[in-house]
Amino acid sequence: MSDAAALPGQPRGFVVSGPATERAVNVLAPNPSAMTLDGTNTWLLSEPGSGLAVVVDPGPLDEGHLRHVVDTAEKLGKRIALTLLTHGHPDHAEGAGRFAELTGTAVRALDPALRLGDEGLGAGDVVTVGGLELRVVPTPGHTSDSLSFHLPADRAVLTGDTVLGRGTTMVAHPDGRLGDYLDSLRRLRSLTVDDGVHTVLPGHGPVLEDAQGAVEFYLAHRASRLAQVETAVGAGHRTAAEVVAHVYADVDRSLWPAAELSVRAQLEYLRERGLI
């Protein structure tokens, strides 16, 4: 058995539904897969003593899951007052419309196409509900519309798919761009250094207790993969598929399509900088 404290980011262990911090409760969606890990983490956030709650990423269009999120809030004596999205991928956002019907809430997101209501989300926005404060942090790269949410009272950050609780994420080329992703990781690192963030509440996988360690691991991993891709191209592997077969030979083949998206993003990044 692995020692969690020795793993990048110090994962808490198994992914479970239930309290994660003083203000955050996870409701795990029943959609496990190679891409979604244990399933989508739907986050229920509320200030202690408040009767209002915010939900981040209601998840897939699964009626049982959506109702379970509502039931969880009600058992805690909370009324869901707002829904937020980290990004528009279906495993995070497909259920948002139905969830809005169940809760009567607006849905706020960076992408106007995902919003239900007049308000969106953007850099520097501060969302306050029932005394709870969430600061919007733009973290494009996985997708162009990716956001993270800084929860200062818990010294935590909700990262969607930008940082996962286990493994690494993909850059969903062409919408996702590697340069943007690296900038986003540096932005998250600044939260750990300057704002004291130590906990990552990810969109998939277990809670991470060492946010700075997780982000540093991601940055080092990206630098290593870039070097491998550059070397592979120099050795004559020209197409994204060829590079994947060479660089990701030790990765489960079911993940190669996602790896190819990341490789396309890496090739674009290297070409833009005249490195290949």
Q: Are 27 and 68 in contact (CB under 8 A)?
A: yes
Q: What is the structure's pLDDT at 66?
A: 98
Residues 6+ apart with CB under 8 A from 52: 46, 78, 79, 80, 81, 129, 130, 132
What percent helix, strand, coil does the chain show, rounded to 5?
A: 35, 20, 45
Q: What is the structure's pLDDT at 5?
A: 63
Give the total residue count for the chain. 276
Query: Going from the N-terminus, what domains does the chain have, and what CATH number goes with each?
Result: 18-213 (3.60.15.10)
Residue 243, both tokens: 């590079």
3-state SS class at 164: coil
**Catalytic residue chosen out of the listed positions 91, 145, 161, 210:** 91
Q: Which of 101, 57, 70, 99 is nearest to 204 (CA)?
A: 57
Query: To 10 degrees, the CA torsion angle through 196, 187, 96, 70?
Result: -10
Q: What is the structure's pLDDT at 1?
A: 34
3-state SS class at 36: coil
Q: What is the structure's pLDDT at 210?
A: 98
CA-to-CA distance for 55 and 53, rounded, in angstroms? Answer: 7
How far is C-alpha 35 from the geometric centre of its chain's CA atoms? 12
Mean pLDDT by 10 residues, the chain (276 residues): 71 93 98 96 98 98 98 98 98 98 98 96 96 98 98 98 96 97 98 98 98 98 96 95 94 91 96 94
pTM: 0.95
Active site residue 91: yes
- The residue type found at 37 is L
